[in-house]
A = this chain, B = another copy of it.
Amino acid sequence: MNGASRERASGAELLAREAAHRTSPSATDLQYGHTDGVIDLTWGHPDPSALATDAIAQAAEVLLSTRGWQALSYGAPAGAMSLRASIAEHLGHVDGVVAPDDIVIAAGSSGALELVLSLCAVPGDVVFVEQPTYFLALRMFVDHGLRIVGLHSTEEGPDPEHLDQLAAEAARAGVGSLLYLVPTYANPTGRCLGAERARALLDVAARRGVTVIEDDVYRDTNPVAPPSMFSLDPTQVVRLGSFSKSLAPGLRVGYLTSTPAVVNRIATCGLLDSGGGSNHFAAMVVGEVMRSGRFAEVVSAGQDRYRARRTALSQALDHDLFRFDEPDGGFFVWLRLPDGCRSSDVVDAARAGGVLVSDGRLFFADRADDSYVRVSFSMLEHDLLVEGATRLNLAVSRMKRR
């Protein structure tokens, strides 16, 4: 099937295909919920049909038959050394030199962030964020009693001078400070932070004692992703990594890489001693997927899939209507709306037109910029993305005409 024939499929045909594909999602077991007749571009989930189900089933079988009880007992607090070694090798190919001892296994990148916030921050500390940023991280900061401060930000990233000024104030007030960033194929913008800006931010962080939390979960969506901030200068950085985008989010396996001091603080905490590390069984399954060589195949297939989809969605969106950069990785396109269109109105009009998009206001910490919506290309196949974009184009062009 070529692109032309795909695009001739009607919306009704596409939705019937999607409904069949989703097969009774037992919504109460899952976060994902499907609404019939609607194309949902809000989910930042990997495509269900692209999850590495076969590789994981095979790995679980091999793991349990070869390692037996060792896959099911309490794990090492910092995580199984065999997996840490595989991650170090993988990062050596795609990022920079990392030693197994620099790594702690966590329950996804969210679990890694939770460990950092629990053990390296206290309520009342301030967390600086770029704007826009990942909205659920904001929720976690609130849960931990942190004060969120949005930095002046442009398409080049957050302003180092603004960080410098605010971090100096925090230091004078005796308050700890963190900087949270998604520098590589960001959620929601899809952008990458340039190396020069990254170094400028790291310099400020080092001078002002700011801990940089680098949320690096989209690295594996492009084989030529730029180097992590951790690889530029690990001194102040905790980098959060994940297998949620590459293998499967339900495994809840991720990791952090950081300095010996941070790694040691986290690896010696009561939680990881009491529980025997984070998710030992699932982590050992991931270790087996890596050991067997299937991981490289799965990552490569995912890169091809997501490249095709981001191109499909970007091409189908009306470039006269929306201003956006076609991203090189990640799961999202960040659309600047036509002048005079408010994001809340666009969300409503899109819903009425049978497509769901995320209100950009969600992603701002301290102001409600209503000029953007986020659309995700990760979960849906080509034809649905094109149909969704077509519906969105139509809904917004009608708004403009009114």
Contacts and interface: CB of A to CB of B under 8 A. Distances in A.
Given A81-B28, A280-B252, A57 B48 contact: no
Contacts of A65: 57
Contacts of A271: 110-111, 113-114, 140, 143
Nearest to A287: B29
A241 to B, nearest CB: 14
Given A53-B68, A252-B281, A276 B76 contact: no
A154 interface: no
A176 to B, nearest CB: 13
B76 A51 contact: no
Contact of A277 (B31, B53, B277): B31
A19 interface: no
B140 A274 contact: yes
A73 B137 contact: no
A118 interface: yes
A250 interface: yes
The winner among A30, A138, A140 for most chain B CB atoms within 10 A is A30
Contacts of A73: 30-32, 45-46, 48, 51, 248-250
A53 B45 contact: no
Contact of A30 (B75, B138, B142, B249): B75
Interface string A201-216: 0000000000000000
A139 interface: yes
A275 interface: yes
A108 interface: yes
A107 B48 contact: no
B81 A29 contact: yes
A249 B278 CA distance: 11
A82 to B, nearest CB: 5
Nearest to A144: B118
Contacts of A248: 72-73, 281
A83 B108 CA distance: 21
Contact of A53 (B53, B64, B141, B276): B64
B72 A276 contact: no
Contacts of A72: 51-53, 56, 248-251
A279 B244 CA distance: 12
Interface string A136-165: 111111111100000000000000000000
Contact of A69 (B49, B64, B270, B274): B49
A141 B271 CA distance: 10
A279 B143 contact: no
A277 B249 CA distance: 10
A119 interface: yes
Contact of A75 (B29, B111, B114): B29
Contacts of A275: 107-108, 110-111, 249, 252
Nearest to A33: B76
Nearest to A252: B279
A368 interface: no
A61 interface: yes
Interface string A119-132: 10011000000000
29 contacts: A26-B81, A28-B80, A30-B75, A31-B75, A32-B74, A45-B74, A48-B68, A48-B70, A49-B69, A56-B72, A57-B64, A72-B248, A73-B249, A107-B111, A107-B279, A114-B114, A118-B144, A122-B123, A122-B145, A123-B123, A136-B274, A138-B270, A140-B271, A248-B281, A250-B281, A252-B275, A252-B278, A281-B282, A282-B282
Given A29-B70, A45-B74, A140-B271, 7 more contacts: A29-B81, A30-B74, A72-B248, A107-B252, A114-B114, A143-B271, A252-B280
